[in-house]
Structure 1
Amino acid sequence: MHKKTLSLVIIALLGLIATITVYFRTDYAETLAVITQIKTSAPVSEKDQYDNRDQQLTQTGTLKLLNTKKSGQTFAFTNNYDRSQLVNQHFYKHQRVFVQVTDQKATIDNAKRDWVLVLAGTILFLLIVQVLNQKSYLVILSLLFNMIIFGMTIRLDIWRNGTNPILIYSLAAIIFAVGSFLIFQGWHLKMAVMLLSTISALLLAFTLSYGIMALTKEKGITYMAVAYATQSPRSLFLGQTLLGVLGAVMDESTDIVTSLNELLEQQPTVSAQQLWQSGLAIGREIMGPLINVLFLIFMADALPMTILYLRDNNAINYTFTYTLSLGVIQSLISAIGIVLTVPIATLTSLILRRKQVQL
């Protein structure tokens, strides 16, 4: 308990120092300013041709530059935003913002939010330590490892300009799985069962899904719906799908293998048939909720854009094609992986631990 309290205090202090440091940081390539005065006008109601209603407000005020050669100078600014803040936003006094300066006028590009990420990360680490206690540092280490690998994967994908995306993201997925299991579980038989079942289910599910896409010549898949695509939308979609399937398969495989391992320790005389039936029963219990969770995650991501399309009087078929179709496909591929993981994880446990199972 004393070590846990000490760890929480150290993380809180380091996080607070890092947050304050990042908040007052000014050495950016962009022009940074702080809002010194601001006034918001009365809202003006507006309605478009589709009967969408909103209110527009105008903010006027002054801001002081915090970097560049014009540091310390004050400029006037104007900011128009909608009450919904769908494509613009409301600013506050003393808020730090990135701006563009022309003559005696400044235009706000965006708010400075990096300190918010540092604060959120600090809170996350505090919660991890509070809940997981002794194994918290392993989770944090695994998280940092995956962030580094993810960044390297994105860099490699950009460098390769979207070529060989399946190879790049497949290798990244395998590294994610190996690194996460090694850090959190350590090297032992149970970890080997988890890793083998995860990689087997991932590759089998994606190969099966990709084969179906190839046979149907990918008809009906609207890759143009991939948001903010700066390279081949198809490669980004395949990368998203691989990583999405990996998360679901790792979760399910860990649950099944851990439960079967506990069963073997409690009942060493369990038969192969009993272990097989137990694995399938465990899989059935977690398979349904896991598929639903993934489906809701994919759908929730597309929900704002779906509502926007429908509010602009687009047809349901058109809206589905450009907002929900890719999410549904990813959900189906992930569901295939979740279903395949049940027999694969159970069979892998039987094969690798056959000496402990009564035949």
Structure 2
Amino acid sequence: MKKKKIRYIIAFFALVLGLALTACTYFAKNIYQKDDVAIVIDKQIKDKLIEKNKDVYGNEDQTREQTLHLKILSGKYQGKTFIEKNVYYPSQLVTQKYRAGQRVFVHFKKGNLTLVNPKRDWVLVLVLTLTIFLMILMAGKHTVALLVSMALSWIIFYAVILLDVKLNGTQIILIFGLADVVFSFVSLLIVQGLNKKMLATWLATLLGVFISFALCYVIMKLTGESEMKYETGDYATQDPRGIFLAQSMLGILGAVMDEATDIVSSLYELVQTKKDITVQQLIKSGRTMGQEIMGPLINVLVLIFIAEELPMLILYLRDNNTLGSAFGFTLSLGATQSVISAIGIVLTVVFATGCSLLFLKGKKWDWR
């Protein structure tokens, strides 16, 4: 009870500190090098219709113009007020509508002001604050290890991207394959420590990632990679096929490591509490846990993928494209990645149970 109370106190102080940092970030002015900070001082922004737009498919939109009064809060022109026109579309797909009292980034070139974008960095700090607050409440002392693991993952990922850019994507599969090995080892080592449970989880994760990836790669080669529209990948400045395969490999890792950790940890606790458990009982327990985990994990992957591509799918359908055409250009690659990850999730049930048999029992197994 005392430990729980201490956890709540630490979580409260973390929340207060985070909210204070959020406020500081919101009011920050002179810490930005490239752009200056301004505030929209209009109580009611003048907003007028320029023209109505309608394309050949019957989609309607408008072109509107805002007249903004901006007070500069930092930089060479601090304290001065500028009037700027902002043209936007209510759909706000590629343009931005500004609100009264909103803080924005602006850029000056030869005395001329240009709107950059809204100042949203404080939102990021707020989200990070709430995340850490909830992690402390749920994970307690393990929060530090989780945060360190996240930070190291970002550093490793940045280093991998720099290496890939330097090599211009020529070794992208090898690079991201090694990255999967390092990602999983570092994350599990920090969170679980170097022990049999960690090694079992790591081995199960690697088997799930590489065997499912190899299986799907062989299937793709046997089918001639038909209907794989690699050219639809966003901002593919390197080989789009290689980028797709690298994305798939990272996607498998996220799902597989989560599942392997759950199964191995549960079986570890089972072995510790029931010393006389047999092989058949452990296999049955692993299969039962896998059946309970597989469905939700696969559904989460599919829903995340659909949510990510939903705006583009709606745009394609509104432009009178057929469902098959819209699927091919917006959902085909993501659907393939989801299937690859789903196969990895299914196979990991077997690998996690097998690795538990290999690592978690100190004496000979009872095979009855």
Residue of 155, 158, 182 corresponding to 2:165: 158
Residue of 8, 13, 29 corresponding to 2:11: 8
Q: Which residue of 2 aligns with 1:278?
A: 285
Output the CA distance in 2 between the equivalents of 1:95 and 1:86: 19
Q: Which residue of 2 aligns with 1:357?
A: 365
Question: Which one is further off, 117-126 or 132-141?
Answer: 132-141
Question: Which one is further off, 68-77 or 82-91?
Answer: 68-77
Structure 1 unaligned segments of length 5 or more: list them: none
Q: Which residue of 1 aligns with 2:267?
A: 260
- Deviations 1:249-285, CA, capped at 9 Å, x for gaps: 0111112112222222232222212222221222122
Output the CA distance in 1 between the equivalents of 2:244 and 2:284: 36
Count of residues in correspondence between the two structures: 359
- Deviations 1:199-238, CA, capped at 9 Å, x for gaps: 1111111111122223333222111211122333223222
Question: Which one is further off, 76-85 or 198-207?
Answer: 76-85
Name the aligned partner's letter for residue 127 of structure 1. Answer: L
Residue of 244, 247, 255 corresponding to 2:254: 247
Q: Structure 1 residue 232 and structure 2 residue 239: aligned?
A: yes
Output the CA distance in 1 between the equivalents of 2:269 and 2:47: 65
Q: What's the CA shift for 1:64? A: 3.1
- Deviations 1:304-354, CA, capped at 9 Å, x for gaps: 110011111122222111100011110111011011101111111112245
Q: Which residue of 1 aligns with 2:37?
A: 33
Question: Which one is further off, 320-329 or 255-264?
Answer: 255-264
Name the aligned partner's letter for residue 120 of structure 2. Answer: R
SS at match of 1:26: coil
Residue of 55, 59, 62 corresponding to 1:48: 55
SS at match of 1:92: coil
Contact 2:18-2:126 at 8 Å conserved across structures? yes
Contact 1:34-1:94 at 8 Å conserved across structures? no
Name the aligned partner's letter for residue 63 of structure 1. Answer: L
Q: What's the CA shift for 1:5? A: 3.9
The 1:107–1:153 alpha-carbon spacing in structure 2 relative to 1, beyond 3 Å, is: same
Q: What's the TM-score once normalised by structure 1's chain length? A: 0.91
Between the aligned residues of both structures, percent identity stands at: 45
Residue of 210, 217, 221 corresponding to 1:210: 217
The 1:72–1:233 alpha-carbon spacing in structure 2 relative to 1, beyond 3 Å, is: farther
Residue of 14, 19, 23 corresponding to 2:22: 19
Output the CA distance in 2 between the equivalents of 1:17 and 1:282: 43
Output the CA distance in 2 between the equivalents of 1:250 and 1:235: 23
Output the CA distance in 2 between the equivalents of 1:22 and 1:163: 41
Question: Which one is further off, 29-38 or 39-48?
Answer: 39-48
Q: Which residue of 2 aligns with 1:94?
A: 101
Q: Which residue of 2 aligns with 1:348?
A: 355
The 1:313–1:210 alpha-carbon spacing in structure 2 relative to 1, beyond 3 Å, is: same
- Deviations 1:10-34, CA, capped at 9 Å, x for gaps: 4234423433443314343433231
Name the aligned partner's letter for residue 366 of structure 2. Answer: Q
Q: What's the TM-score once normalised by structure 2's chain length? A: 0.89
Output the CA distance in 1 between the equivalents of 2:243 and 2:25: 32
SS at match of 2:225: coil
Name the aligned partner's letter for residue 34 of structure 2. Answer: E
The 1:73–1:162 alpha-carbon spacing in structure 2 relative to 1, beyond 3 Å, is: farther
Q: What's the CA shift for 1:46? A: 4.3
Contact 2:48-2:66 at 8 Å conserved across structures? no
Q: What's the CA shift for 1:102? A: 5.8
SS at match of 1:192: helix
Output the CA distance in 1 between the equivalents of 2:47 and 2:253: 50
Q: Which residue of 1 aligns with 2:328?
A: 321
Output the CA distance in 1 between the equivalents of 2:70 and 2:257: 49
Question: Which one is further off, 53-62 or 256-265?
Answer: 53-62
Contact 1:63-1:74 at 8 Å conserved across structures? yes
Output the CA distance in 2 between the equivalents of 1:288 and 1:165: 31
- Deviations 1:272-300, CA, capped at 9 Å, x for gaps: 12222221222122112211211111121
Output the CA distance in 2 between the equivalents of 1:300 and 1:36: 33
Residue of 72, 76, 79 corresponding to 2:86: 79
Structure 2 unaligned segments of length 5 or more: list them: none
SS at match of 1:286: helix
Question: Which one is further off, 290-299 or 6-15?
Answer: 6-15
Name the aligned partner's letter for residue 290 of structure 1. Answer: L
Contact 1:32-1:96 at 8 Å conserved across structures? no
Output the CA distance in 1 between the equivalents of 2:354 and 2:273: 19
Output the CA distance in 1 between the equivalents of 2:34 and 2:61: 32
SS at match of 2:117: strand
Name the aligned partner's letter for residue 247 of structure 1. Answer: G
SS at match of 1:97: strand
Q: Which residue of 2 aligns with 1:188?
A: 195
The 1:153–1:18 alpha-carbon spacing in structure 2 relative to 1, beyond 3 Å, is: farther
Q: Which residue of 1 aligns with 2:299?
A: 292
Q: What's the CA shift for 1:6? A: 4.0
